[in-house]
Amino acid sequence: MSQSVVVVPSAPFLLPEYTGRTDAAADLRARAVAAVRDAAAADGASGVVLVVATDREQRGTRPPLGQRVGAHLAALAGVAVEGVVTVAWDAPAAECRALGEQPAVGSADATLVVVADGSARRGEKAPGHLDERAFAVDEALLGALRAADPEGLLALDPVLCADLLVHGRAPLQVAAAALAGRPGLAALDVHAEDPFGVLHVVATLAAP
């Protein structure tokens, strides 16, 4: 298992085709790219392994949005994608745990990059419109990241998270299962913002 795990958003506006005339994602993209680049450099990693969720609605044959965003951020960071682990966005926690415990999820030579968002129901103009329950669930998610607490992530309720459109719950739980029991795990940085009613997170967790 690599020394670092990085969480980056799966927001479509991080991709060039969705940027538009005004690049509203410039700061968030730069922060995510820096997190991936710095973690890979600190690990001495040859590349990254992406952990991504399937799209809520499959359209066409393109890879999931999370995979496309993760690959783009990795390219901007100058690191290769050495593998992709895909989990159903609404997979049960037990399935996520089992997947995270497989050797393919982590590699001693690759940094783990989890492409994951919080709730998409944090405002009236959010994709899922406002649901006040979103704030408590997102705070639990962020609290687990800040505390570097894998069990806190694994405790997130899949049914409630699905209702609140927490698209990153499953990949976060896959990573949490891979991290469980690691001594000295700590959060080096956790940044959160929700400019469009969707919680976007950039975080780095590492162990000495």
pLDDT at residue 184, rounded to an integer: 87
Q: What is the pTM of this model?
A: 0.94
pLDDT confidence band for 108 (50 / 70 / 90): low
**pLDDT score at 7:** 98
Could you please report the per-residue DSSP string of the chain? --SEEEEE---GGGSGGG-TTTTTTHHHHHHHHHHHHHHHHHHT-SEEEEEEEPPSS--SSSPPHHHHHHHHHHHHHT-EEEEEEEE-TT--HHHHHHHHTSGGG-BTTEEEEEE-B--S-SSTTSTT---THHHHHHHHHHHHHHTT-HHHHHTS-HHHHHHTT-TTHHHHHHHHHHHTT-TT-EEEEEEEE-TTSS-EEEEEEE--
Residues 141-170 have pLDDT tens digits of: 999 999 999 999 999 999 999 999 999 999
pLDDT, tens digit, for every residue of 66-99? 999 999 999 999 999 999 999 999 999 999 999 9
Query: What domains can be seen in the chain, in order of their start residue?
Result: 4-206 (3.40.830.10)
Query: For the segment 24-74, what is each residue's pLDDT rounded down to a tens digit?
Result: 789 999 999 999 999 999 999 889 999 999 998 877 788 999 999 999 999
